[in-house]
Amino acid sequence: MKNLLWSAVLRSVLLLLPVAACQRGTAPTTRAGATGFSVQGRLTSAVPGTVISLKSLANAPVVLDSALVDEKGRFELRGQVPDTALYRFAARTPGAPADSVRTLTLVIGNGSAQQIAGDLRRSAATYVVRGYAETDQLQELQVLIRQQERRVQGLERRLVAANSHPDTMQVVQRRYYQTKTLFRRGVRQFVRARPASLAAAYATAHLLDYSIDLAFIDSMRTRYEQLRPHSPYTKYIGAKMRLDASKVVRELGSEDFVLPGVDGRPVALSSLKGQPVLVYFWWPAQRQFRTEAKQVHQMCAEYAKQGLRLYSVCLEPERAAWQEIIAEDSLTGVLTWDPNGKASYARFPLRSIPASLLLDAQGRVIGQDLRGESLFESLIDLFD
Establish if 91 belongs to a structural domain: yes
For residues 204 and 304, membership in a common domain is answered with no
Q: Specify whether 295 is located in the same domain as 227.
A: no
Q: Do 379 and 264 share a domain, yes or no?
A: yes
Predicted local confidence at residue 195, as pLDDT: 93
Residue 309 lies in a domain: yes
pLDDT at 89 over 50: yes
Secondary structure of the chain as H, E, C letters: CHHHHHHHHHHHHHHHCCCCEEECCCCCCCCCCCCCEEEEEEEECCCCCCEEEEEECCCCCCEEEEEECCCCCEEEEEECCCCCEEEEEEEECCCCCHHHCEEEEEEECCCCEEEEEEECCCCHHHCEEECCHHHHHHHHHHHHHHHHHHHHHHHHHHHHHCCCCHHHHHHHHHHHHHHHHHHHHHHHHHHHHCCCCHHHHHHHHHCCCCCCCHHHHHHHHHHHHHHCCCCHHHHHHHHHHHCCHHHCCCCCCCCCCEEEECCCCEEEHHHHCCCCEEEEEECCCCHHHHHHHHHHHHHHHHHHHHCCEEEEEECCCCHHHHHHHHHHHCCCCEEEECHHHHHHHHHCCCCCCCEEEEECCCCCEEEECCCHHHHHHHHHHHHC
In a domain, 204, yes or no: yes
Look at residues 79, 100, 130 and tell me which one is the last residue of a structural domain: 130
Query: Which pLDDT does position 38 carry in this prediction?
Result: 96
Q: Note whether residue 157 is domain-resident.
A: yes
Q: What integer is the mean pLDDT of 289-313?
A: 94
61 and 99 together in one domain: yes
pLDDT at residue 306 tops 90:
yes
User: 169 and 126: one domain?
Assistant: no
Total number of domains constituting the chain: 3
Task: Specify the CATH number for the domain of residue 324.
Answer: 3.40.30.10
Q: Of 5-9, 134-138, 192-196, where does mean pLDDT reach its minimum?
A: 5-9
pTM to 2 decimal places: 0.74
pLDDT of residue 4: 46
In a domain, 163, yes or no: yes
Same domain for 6 and 142, yes or no, is yes
State the pLDDT confidence band at 57, using cuts at 50, 70 and 90: confident
Q: Are 198 and 308 part of one and the same domain?
A: no
Residue 250 falls inside a structural domain:
no
Whether residue 237 is found in the same domain as residue 183: yes
Shared domain for 282 and 378, answered yes or no, is yes
Residue 59 located in a structural domain: yes
Task: Identify which of 44-48, 233-237, 243-247 has the greatest average pLDDT.
Answer: 44-48
